[in-house]
Amino acid sequence: MLRRTILVMLMAAVAGFGVYWWLTAPAASAVPLPSRAPDLANGQEIFNVGGCSSCHAVPNQPDRLRLGGGLALGSPFGTFYAPNISPDPADGIGRWSEADFVSAVMRGVSPEGKHYFPAFPYTSYRLAKVEDVRDLFAYLKTLPPVSGKVRDHDLPFPFNIRRNVGIWKSLFMDGKPFVADGAKSPQWNRGAYLVNGFGHCAECHSPRNLLGGIITAQRFAGGPNPEGEGWVPNITQKGIGEWSAKDIANLLKTGELPEGDSVGGAMTRVIKNTSQLSDEDIAAMADYVKSLPPVDGPPRPKRKEGGA
């Protein structure tokens, strides 16, 4: 009887491990893409919409195009360090194929077939058009190579096990593409595409659950800063209902708030990117954000007496 019980337990363990291995498997390897002439101007626009330099530029130096990485990104799960995405062949992505890059950006899978942690916002980038991702890759290859390996992420067990990200993806990353709304204007749809895709605005401006997934019902409604300190504002009409689309566009262009103050914190890095965008794309993003229906966000903690 004991031997039978042990055998059943072993079989259950093997079956359980098999299910785990299947659920956590990364997507299939990157598939070669047909040749096309890249649009470098579009690649630069996507680079700025995506805020690539905000995370990947080498910290504490003035050149936002030196993408050697190293920025520390705090989270409830540990500290992530942005990798080197310069064209350096040894330490960056200089040896990557175009298909490798598309797979990384849209599926969160490395050229080695491993999951990237979702501190890399591929849950939003997956909505991008493949052509835009390819143009971005072509633009990145025109930037200066930067040598230097970035240190490993500082994550405690079990969050340091990349294989577990497969389960996270099955819970919080669907494969649905961006679909334009035929009832809306081309400008509104362009804004929706940029804000939800490469702009990845919801990644910071939405509260998250205990597993780090965005709470869908409170998307864009603000919440605790995912990097640890401060509060990210509600950008639905509940939070900025008195703002006009021109106010929002001016913020994205200059960093100036309607009341005359300026943005601070991580948003200053964002403005360095959005300020480089075309007026048309800024207007489109503002048009879309202005249309977000009012949503109540999580309650903001009360300030302690005597606090700033």
Provide DSSP, 155-170. --TTTT-GGGHHHHHH
DSSP 3-state of 256: strand
Q: Which helix (H) or strand (E) holds 191?
A: helix 186-196
> What is the pTM (predicted TM-score) of this model?
0.88
| Per-residue pLDDT reduced to its tens digit, 168-216 | 888 888 878 899 999 999 999 999 999 999 999 999 999 999 888 999 9
The pLDDT value recorded for residue 22 is 47
25/17 Cα distance (integer angstroms): 12
* Token pair for 257: 């708030």
The identity of residue 154, as a single letter, is D
- Answer whether 297's CB lies under 8 Å from 239's CB: yes
Long-range contacts of 245-254 (CB under 8 A, 24+ apart): 245/283, 245/286, 245/287, 245/289, 245/290, 246/286, 248/285, 248/286, 248/289, 248/290, 249/282, 249/283, 249/285, 249/286, 252/277, 252/282, 252/285, 252/286, 253/277, 253/279, 253/282
Instruction: Pinpoint the alpha helices (H) of 229-277.
Output: 237-240, 245-254, 267-274
pLDDT tens per residue across all 308 residues of the chain: 666 666 655 655 555 545 554 455 566 556 678 888 999 999 999 999 999 999 999 998 889 999 999 999 888 888 999 999 999 999 999 999 999 999 999 999 999 999 999 999 999 999 999 999 999 999 999 999 999 999 999 988 888 888 888 888 888 888 788 999 999 999 999 999 999 999 999 999 999 998 889 999 999 998 888 776 778 899 999 989 999 999 999 999 999 888 878 888 888 889 999 999 999 999 999 999 999 999 988 887 776 554 44
